[in-house]
Copies of this chain bind each other. A is one copy, B any other.
Amino acid sequence: MAAVGRLAGVSQVTVSRALSHPEKVSPDTLQRIRDAIEATGFVPNALAGALASKRSHLISALVPSLTNIVYASFIATFSAQLRSHGYQVLLSETGFDTTSEQDLIATHLSRRPDAMLLTGIHHSQQARRSLLGADIPVVEVWDITDSPIDMCVGFNHVDAGRAVANFLYEQGHKNAATITANDERALRRQSAFSETFTQLSGNAVLNSNTGGPASIGAGRRALAHLIDDTGFQRGAVFCSSDLLAHGVLIEARARGLCVPGDMAVMGFGDQDFARDLEPALTTVAIDRLALGSVAAEALLARLVRPDTKQSIFDLGFKILRRASA
């Protein structure tokens, strides 16, 4: 900056002002400074800026997995929204692991983010302490609680599981099975579904866990297992994600089963491909776009007015009836 200033015939401070508050600098010195910046190829040092101003314009975000399209698309919206307000997002994957999340929180906090996004409402005690100590806005997404660390935006997974149970029961199904990926929130939906459906139908639900991330292959294998090993025959299958449901659809067809005639299949998430499958997938729609932008807006609001009141955003969900159930 000093070098740029020398070239423009002003002091270092004026260069700083030209960059941060151009309106406080006279038009022609501004131009000279801009020319000098152009000529020198000067790139401001945001580290120094953040150190001096105590604002990093960095927002850190912790998601379980980047390769899960659900989180990836959420983050894309969230990042775009924040970028348009001059913030950059520092992203990490926790791998659905609370301890790993805790370590990442410490690492991220050392970069002094202006705010932080966390996925889910379950965090280690140490994590909560660090966050509280950091004294920055925090938003927890994809779930809802009455006592967020700071703010939360998401929906109620127990309600969602129950709603699906009611929906399938009302379609006339008396038997049901579930196929769930190894994700705490999905498991919560599963048990809510299972409990409600059993209560309604009087029949036990066959619950299965893929033991890993959701994928088409995992869905195929899970249905195969359900049919071959546990004797599941007819009824409804509630999958914890559209990807699993997609696999179920493929496996069912490969076995000559008709969907929904022989077996009804329900997904979760309403991913873009859900409507393009044959049969089109009945699923639970989550407004991921809204999730991302509400989370971003919530943080931005706190950043501007630290005493903003609303802190719990329930975005709900919607059952989308298509052809598969």
Contact = CB atoms under 8 A, between A and B. Distances in A.
Interface of A: 41, 43-48, 50-51, 56, 58, 65-67, 69, 72-73, 75-76, 79-80, 83, 88-93, 106-107, 109-112, 129-130, 133-134, 215-217, 220, 247, 250, 253-254, 272-273, 275-278
B69 A67 contact: yes
Query: Which 7 residue pairs across A and B have the least CB separation, nearest first?
Result: A216-B273, A46-B110, A217-B276, A216-B276, A67-B73, A66-B72, A47-B51
Given A75-B66, A88-B90, A276-B250, A109 B48 contact: no
A106 B42 CA distance: 10
Contacts of A273: 215-217
Nearest to A42: B133
Nearest to A43: B109
Contact of A217 (B79, B93, B275): B275
Given A43-B109, A83-B92, A254-B278, 14 more contacts: A43-B134, A45-B112, A46-B110, A47-B56, A47-B111, A65-B76, A66-B66, A66-B79, A69-B72, A76-B93, A79-B92, A88-B92, A215-B273, A253-B278
A320 to B, nearest CB: 15
